[in-house]
Structure 1
Amino acid sequence: MREFLVFQSLWAMQDHHGQCELALEAQLEKIAAAGFDGITDHFWVANHAARLHAAAKAQGLQIEGQVFPRTVDDLAAAIDVASRYGCHHLTLQADVRPRTLAQAIQLIEGWQRLAEQVDFPILLETHRYRLTSDLLFTLDILAEMPDLKLLADLSHYVVGRELPEPAAAVDDEQIQTILRHSWGFHGRVANSEQVQVPLSFAQHRPWLGRFLGWWRYGIEDWLARPDTLTSLSFTCELGPPPYAITGADGRDITDRWAEALMLKELMRQVWSDCQGRPRDGL
């Protein structure tokens, strides 16, 4: 039985000062009570991983661990920590910016050899100011490494390349290539100039619809794969300022927690539609 798991980012729980008034355990209690299936957070420091694991287990939540390796040894150390406590998967924000494909591929191949030794997936995230910063460079990597598993955060490519709306066919084709290699998603909606726009504003509906269509494509492709893992995750990752748009007082102009709940329900509806069955109450 294949599952769709919706996670909440702990980074997204921060306020405009980069803080959260709730202790870690209280955050996870709130997230579980809201109906999320798991959480996303840093997962390479042993003390923090132990506390996060204990709190998640108490609430029945799964963990997407985030790591920011620069070398093969960096990932080896993070895997040692993650293996002690277990996780749904690890997401790599590769904190390097190679200038050539050969440099990138050499590093990724080292990470892939490590990934083969553990029983949880290790996914390379698409993200600005990381190895995967540029869409075309990432597509070139995929052409050389067709088995590479990605974690798709599409917002970075929309704002990073100033993708137009309405869509250009070639842009959608390139995003679909990313999605065909993706085994999880980080969710926010961007437009050509801003990495995170309020979901509920009328002027952003075309972009919301476009992202939902992309995510639907990714889910349908995942479901059609013969070697699909048993569960697919989607993280609601509506980050604090400066990701969130702010007013003159420096505070968010929308309620990000309310929008995370909205995004969770939208994505569960997309999943149900892909499964060909209605959701109760929707």
Structure 2
Amino acid sequence: MGKRKPPPPLPEPLAGLVDAHTHIDSCGARTPQAVRELVDRAASVGVDRVVTVACDLREARFVVDAARWDERVYAAVALHPTSAHELADDGVAVELETLAADPRCVAIGETGLDWYWLGKRDDVATPEQQHTSFEWHVDLAKRLGKPLMIHNRDADEDILADLDRFGAPETVIFHCFSGDADMARRCVERGYVLSFSGTVTFSNAVGLQEAARLVPDGQLLVETDAPFLTPHPYRGTPNESYAVPYTARFLAELRGVTAEHIASATTDNARRVFGIPI
């Protein structure tokens, strides 16, 4: 068995960034001290706030706790679409709604549709279960007045159709946007916010890079989705919130603006979208 690759070095600081989507527990930060240390590393390079995201009920409990442990951490709670069948348990729905209403929870997510794993895993929710869960989360976001954070994998047309059919909440965020320029235009036209992760830096992500060029400043966020999707040239190594400046600088070069411009625009958007003081 090969040695685990070391994490990327700390990037050159870029002040005023927000990691709009991460999973700090999956990065190994599961205690108050570990959470503080992770956020301290991020803050040392200018990443002042992080939104840590749940995929199931256990994680939903954790992210709200973590957001209470450190004022720089905010939570998002939902059932990942592959776990949508868990919503059939009334107790799960009730507790999720309680956690979602917590003041430290700033978004409902990640929810949506994931067709990639269908037929590949036995534990994945069916399409019907995913549509049902997605509708419930859309309604929850509207009732609580919180943004909806979308997970979309191989489901562009169905995601857009569901949002049109259910009636999208005021704010919709496509986390780790992975579509092409056409999908980006359709999302932008609907007023949705597109969040870009390290995938946009990959050498084979030509279509995604074309999409990233056309998103207006006011509809752009940057994220890590850590511990996954570490930016180039560190792809395949453990990701963490401190890596946001790598992606922000890549986006700046791609869009022909300064890194400071990207930091300012995405931070302003995070403040507005999540309602967090920065």
Q: Give the shorter-chain TM-score range.
A: 0.5 to 0.7
CA distance in 2, matches of 1:107, 1:93: 8
Equivalence for 1:261? 245
Q: Which amino acid aligns with 1:260?
A: V
Q: Which amino acid aligns with 2:127?
A: P
Q: What is the Cα deviation at residue 62 of structure 1?
A: 4.6
Q: What is the Cα deviation at residue 66 of structure 1?
A: 3.9
Q: Report the secondary structure of 1:236's partner residue.
A: coil
Q: Does 1:127 align with 2:152?
A: yes
Q: Is the 8 A contact 1:236 1:260 kept in 2?
A: yes
How many pairs does the alignment contain? 218
Q: Which amino acid aligns with 1:140?
A: A
Q: Is the 8 A contact 2:19 2:49 kept in 1?
A: yes
CA distance in 2, matches of 1:107, 1:97: 11
Equivalence for 1:92? 110
1:78–1:19 distance in 2 versus 1, CA, 3 Å: same
Q: Which amino acid aligns with 2:139?
A: R
Q: What is the Cα deviation at residue 246 of structure 1?
A: 11
Gap runs ≥5 in structure 1? 158-170, 190-195, 223-231, 275-282
Q: For 1:156-235, what aligned pairs fall within 5 Å after superposition? A: 156-157=178-179, 172-181=181-190, 183-189=192-198, 196=199, 199=201, 203=203, 206=206, 209-214=209-214, 216-217=215-216, 219-220=217-218, 222=219, 233-235=221-223
RMSD: 4.3
Q: Is the 8 A contact 2:111 2:134 kept in 1?
A: no
CA distance in 1, matches of 2:75, 2:95: 17
Q: Which amino acid aligns with 1:89?
A: A
1:109–1:41 distance in 2 versus 1, CA, 3 Å: same
Q: Which amino acid aligns with 1:98?
A: P
Q: Which amino acid aligns with 1:179?
A: V
Gap runs ≥5 in structure 2? 1-15, 114-124, 253-258, 267-278
The C-alpha deviation readout for 1:244-276, integer Å capped at 9, x for no partner, is 5999xxx955685575222235375247579xx
Q: Percent identity?
A: 12
Q: Does 1:81 align with 2:81?
A: no
1:38–1:209 distance in 2 versus 1, CA, 3 Å: same
CA distance in 1, matches of 2:206, 2:140: 41
Q: What is the Cα deviation at residue 206 of structure 1?
A: 4.7
Q: Report the secondary structure of 1:237's partner residue.
A: coil
CA distance in 2, matches of 1:205, 1:135: 17
Q: Which amino acid aligns with 2:19?
A: F
Q: Which amino acid aligns with 2:62?
A: H
Q: What is the Cα deviation at residue 38 of structure 1?
A: 2.1
